[in-house]
Amino acid sequence: MDAFKMDGKVALITGARRGIGLTIARTFANNGARLALIDLNSGELEEAAEELVSNGVEVLALPGDVTNSEGIKSITEQVIKKWGKADILVNAAGIHDHVQIESLTTAKFKKMLDVNIMGVFHCTQAVLPYMIQQKSGSIVSVASLAGLRGHPTGASHYAASKGAVISFMRSVAREMGEYGIRANCVAPGMVDTAMIEGYTKEERENYARSIPLGRIGKPEDIADVIHFLSSDASSYVTGQVLNVCGGVLMA
Ligand SMILES: NC(=O)c1ccc[n+]([C@@H]2O[C@H](COP(=O)([O-])OP(=O)(O)OC[C@H]3O[C@@H](n4cnc5c(N)ncnc54)[C@H](O)[C@@H]3O)[C@@H](O)[C@H]2O)c1
């Protein structure tokens, strides 16, 4: 049996309209999963769903805001109503911006935490009752190298939010292990998506020179590792952070 296959599995993916989230959706689809795509209300979410449906994938496009716990609960109920289970949750929704600590406002810091860690909490809490009942489940959250080593170019609130994601997921792994539920993180370095469009070509090239593998990440690099962590191929892996960063951080 191929432990990487996801035939019939139901996966909820946040941040799924573009970037890393959409690439995860395509990767899971290629491996047979049924997909609930969650993102802010947008034509792009529908377009993503249409692309997958046209390739024969079973998809639900569910507009929603991860900061809204009631909304996320109701989205999860829709998934259960449709497919009767929730095997995988990938928390990929997130925001990022650059502000030096001296200029950082409380409002900006809170907004960052609201999306990047409270969003992970809401989605995780929403799927857990079903995973506990099933006695199985895999939750993967997209953290960041910044959550492990601090942010090098002025996004301390982003780094703090991702550090919180890592420690929260480790606690989920500890509390939920007895139900066969696994919880892991990936920590990407810089990945070529809309999130880094604020970086100049020169900044990207400078960063790439500091990477042992000599290039910035592609969404596929991250999606492939999340596929491993979400599938039965990693059935004895929980509470881990896998750095997907071309070797920038070796720990
Ligand atoms: N691109 C990078 O360099 C990089 C590096 C490390 C970690 N990450 C993380 O990877 C994840 C995916 O980011 P990406 O690079 O694909 O960027 P992206 O901006 O393309 O994708 C983020 C997605 O999250 C969605 N989102 C934002 N706020 C939301 C909310 N409140 N509710 C629902 N959806 C919301 C956005 O609409 C968007 O589709 C994020 O968690 C990000 O922090 C990215």
Q: Using one digit for the tens of pLDDT, what is the confidence trace for 71-100?
A: 999 999 999 999 999 999 999 999 999 999
Instruction: Please name the helix (run of DSSP H) or strand (run of DSSP E) that holds residue 183, with its range, or none.
Output: strand 181-188
Walk me through the domains of the chain, giving residue ranges and CATH numbers.
10-244 (3.40.50.720)
Query: Is the C-beta atom of 68 inside 6 A of ligand 1?
Result: no
Residue 93's closest CA among 150, 169, 37, 164?
A: 37
Instruction: Give the per-residue pLDDT at 153.
Output: 86
**What pLDDT is stored for residue 224 in this prediction?**
98
Closest to 143 measured CA to CA, from 170, 116, 162 = 162
Determine if ligand 1 sits within 6 Å of the CB of residue 18: yes
Ligand 1 centroid vs 39 CA: distance in angstroms? Answer: 10
Distance CA 243, CA 251 (A): 8
- For residue 191, give the ligand 1 atom closest to its CA: 3
| Whether pLDDT at 1 is above 80 | no
Phi/psi region, residue 182 (left: phi>0; alpha: psi -120 to 50; beta: rest), is beta
* Nearest residue to 87 (alpha-carbon basis) of 131, 27, 128, 132: 131
Catalytic residues: 158
CA distance 56 to 50: 10
Using the atom order of ligand 1, give the atom closest to the CA of residue 143: 7
For all residues of the chain together, what is the average pLDDT?
97
pLDDT at 139 over 90: yes
Cα distance between residue 182 and residue 134, in whole Å: 13
How much distance in Å is there from the Cα of 15 to the middle of ligand 1?
6
**Cα–Cα distance measured from residue 74 to residue 80, given in angstroms and rounded to the nearest whole number:** 10
Residue 26 confidence (pLDDT) above 80? yes
pLDDT band (50, 70, 90) for residue 63: very high
Specify the pairing of strand 137-142 against strand 10-14: unpaired
